[in-house]
Chain A
Amino acid sequence: MEIVYEYVKKRSEFGRPCNFSDRPADLHLDIQPDAELAACFFALDSRDVGMQCAADMSEHEVNTERIESESRGINHVEGGWPNNVNPQEIEHTMRFRKKVEKDENYIKAILKLGTQMEYSIKQNNTIDIYEEYFEEEQVEEEEMTDAKEQPAAKTINVFRDPNEVKRTASSLSWHPDGNHKLAVGYSCLEFQRAAKGMSFDSYIWDIENRNQPELTLKPVSPLVSLEYNPKDSHILLGGSYNGQIAYWDTRKGGQPVEMSAIEHSHRDPVYKVIWLQSKTGTDAFSTSTDGQVLWWDIRNMKEPTERLVLDPSKKENLENALTAVSLEFETTMPTKFMVGTEQGLVVACNRKAKTPAEKIVCTYSGHRGPIYALQRNPFFPKYFLTVADWTARIWSEDIRESSIMSTTFDMAYLMDGCWSPVRPSVFFTVKMDGTVDVWDFLFKQNNPTLSLKVCDEALCSVRVQSNGRLLACGSQLGTATLLEISPGLYTMQRNERALANEMFERETRREKILEARLREIRLKERSRLEQVKEEEVQDAEGEESPEELIARAEKEFFQIVEAEIMKWKKEVEKEKEKKVSEQKKC
């Protein structure tokens, strides 16, 4: 209903000053409570209502747009010359300069500035005014704070795959000197799932510039593995998805300098290529899931210099061969190398063996899945790290039955790992749930010392820079993340080498003892089994005697029965005779 009040005024009275006067309130409308409406509601005794005298807030997420920045140089062009002077004409400028030099102000100013300047120059020459005093104390302080510092890692840079169709960053390689560049090989490792428009390119990134790769490598097929030549930092070797090997020279651009002939290459993706130590610095070897290890000299890529088939039965049978996914080579031991297979075996091989059959020295078993990473400890080459299935294990060369140390089984599958080049007991692993684990075996063995979630998708590769400070990990969507780890994880503690050595030796000894014990038990088992077999044979002869016994018992029974019958018959006859004799007497 409308509450309306009509106010009437004569037109002639418009504009008159208002004369206000008080009067009591006039009730216009009175709305009574309706009892029926009250029946629709019922009273609640008590309620919990939050009361707060604060402003209402709401949460919003804001993400700034990523700005693309580019480094550009500025071209300096001369300017500032007054109107009448043309900077191109030397005469004009000379004249202008001479005029300025004659100016009194100029002379005064220069003389004053000159004395000031001389003072500073002489100061520089006598002492180093920027010298750090008490540097050692500062370092000590840092060390002390480090000990209490939590291990941490910080993301410095993220390099995203510039293409639209994202591919896995399947392999990373740091530039051998200077460490300012990172080569990342991209490929799609899922079987036949490579999208149609997928680019084959791989990139070399400068770690300072994340917007644009420094160099694009254009192979014929996506690169699964990529390695810088440690001796010549311009040469890179890449193993591609179709089994070919190609090498690039960064001075010559993005096209491969030479590719291996496809007839003699691998028949499966080349999962690992490693440069070898040689005088020419051009030797490398590669492996793939087709079961072969091929040696190449990059100057002649038409065919491999050597071939090895990973057949455990040593018959060079390609069908029986183990399929390899990783390779290991240490420059301090040039004749030995190791291959990690999809079957979970690590095969140690000798390069200098005369016959191919002797090339395979021994195998190490114990993993339940393909061995994705294989690396010797840079400080103690006798021990090596394998990363496969849900664990990472450390092995000693002498013990073949099992690993000497192992991490606990993880929830996620481990995809890659590597040792830290500066600390003997630290290694890094990456998992399928996108986390990077830093393990320090001297500090803690049950859990990683630092576990960091880098991204939501699986991480497929990890590489540490040679100074141990930067870590690059590549993910399934092609992002390579650069992490910097805290100083505590890359500075070697005082007697770390000795401690690590002791730890490894202790574990080796433990394994040896366990092995010996196992062998003993097995021997006992075997001898016991043999004994049991003899007893069984004896038992077999005894089994026939119950039957015989039964037969014998029957015979005896019948014999006794017959004997009784005979006796009875005889007695009956005797009685008859007695009767007859008695009759005769009477």
Chain B
Amino acid sequence: MAEVEETLKRIQSQKGVQGIIIINAEGIPIKSTLDNSSTVQYAGLLHQLVMKTRSTVRDLDPQNDLTFLRVRSKKNEIMIAPDKDYFLIVIQNPSD
């Protein structure tokens, strides 16, 4: 429990990190550093995206599986680390 907090604090303190969201396999946000409405929006949209990506990877090669997903946009980068039951989402502003 404490390690989880520590990990999240460490991530939050990295340069450029704008927010962290943890969602479970059903898309319910468990923990978030953003406000509720943004959290719900991110959770809903990204959950679908990860499901789609994962099924794509597995369709192409059934032995394969999704390990990490980065969505880079003009303004920031959304990084999603998927696990069997939970997803860790971090929104970072790459400072370059």
A residues in contact (CB < 8 Å) with B = 76, 78-81, 96-97, 100-102, 105-107, 109-118, 120-122, 124-125, 128, 130
Contacts and interface: CB of A to CB of B under 8 A. Distances in A.
B31 A101 contact: yes
B8 A114 contact: yes
Contacts of B84: 109
A436 B96 CA distance: 44
A101 B94 contact: no
A80 B43 CA distance: 11
Interface in B35-92: 40-41, 44-45, 67-68, 70, 72, 77, 79, 81, 83-88, 90, 92
B54 to A, nearest CB: 15
Question: Which of A81, A110, A128 gathers most chain B CB within 10 Å?
Answer: A110
B80 to A, nearest CB: 9
A114 B26 contact: no
Given A125-B14, A125-B94, A109 B70 contact: no
Interface of B: 1, 3-4, 7-8, 10-11, 14-17, 22, 24, 26-28, 30-31, 40-41, 44-45, 67-68, 70, 72, 77, 79, 81, 83-88, 90, 92, 94-96
A110 B83 CA distance: 9
Contacts of B83: 109, 112-113
A84 to B, nearest CB: 13
A102 B1 contact: yes
B88 A101 contact: no
Nearest to A115: B7
A128 B94 contact: yes
26 contacts: A76-B40, A76-B41, A79-B44, A80-B28, A81-B28, A96-B28, A101-B30, A101-B31, A106-B4, A106-B30, A106-B85, A107-B4, A109-B84, A110-B4, A110-B86, A111-B3, A111-B4, A113-B81, A113-B86, A113-B87, A113-B88, A117-B88, A125-B15, A125-B94, A125-B95, A128-B96
A102 B5 CA distance: 12
A110 B77 CA distance: 20
A117 B86 contact: no
A114 B22 CA distance: 11
Nearest to B15: A125
B90 A101 contact: no
B7 A110 contact: yes
Nearest to A121: B14
Contacts of A112: 83
B92 A121 contact: yes
A76 B14 CA distance: 30
Given A113-B81, A121-B11, A79 B27 contact: yes
Given A101-B1, A114-B88, A120 B14 contact: no
Contacts of B87: 113
DSSP majority for the B interface? mixed
Contacts of B92: 121, 124
A326 B86 CA distance: 67
Contacts of A116: 67-68, 81
Contacts of B31: 97, 101
Q: Which 10 A-B residue pairs are closest in the complex by CB-CB distance?
A: A114-B7, A80-B26, A113-B88, A113-B81, A109-B83, A80-B27, A76-B44, A121-B14, A128-B96, A109-B86
Nearest to A120: B79
A113 B8 CA distance: 10
A76 to B, nearest CB: 5
Contacts of A100: 24, 30
A101 B86 CA distance: 11
Contacts of B40: 76, 78
Nearest to A125: B15
A105 B88 contact: no
B94 A124 contact: yes
Contacts of A121: 11, 14, 16-17, 79, 90, 92
Contacts of B79: 117, 120-121
B30 A130 contact: no
Nearest to B81: A113
A14 B40 CA distance: 84
A196 to B, nearest CB: 50
Contacts of B45: 76
Contacts of A107: 1, 3-4
B77 A124 contact: yes
Contacts of B24: 100
B65 to A, nearest CB: 14
Question: Which of B14, B70, B77, B86 gathers most chain A CB within 10 Å?
Answer: B86
B43 to A, nearest CB: 8
Nearest to A127: B96
A233 B9 CA distance: 46
A50 B72 CA distance: 62
Nearest to B37: A76
A117 B81 contact: yes
A114 B83 CA distance: 11
A132 B17 CA distance: 24
A110 to B, nearest CB: 5
Nearest to B26: A80
Nearest to A131: B96
A93 to B, nearest CB: 9
Nearest to A93: B28
A219 B38 CA distance: 42
A83 to B, nearest CB: 12
A105 B85 contact: yes
A77 to B, nearest CB: 8
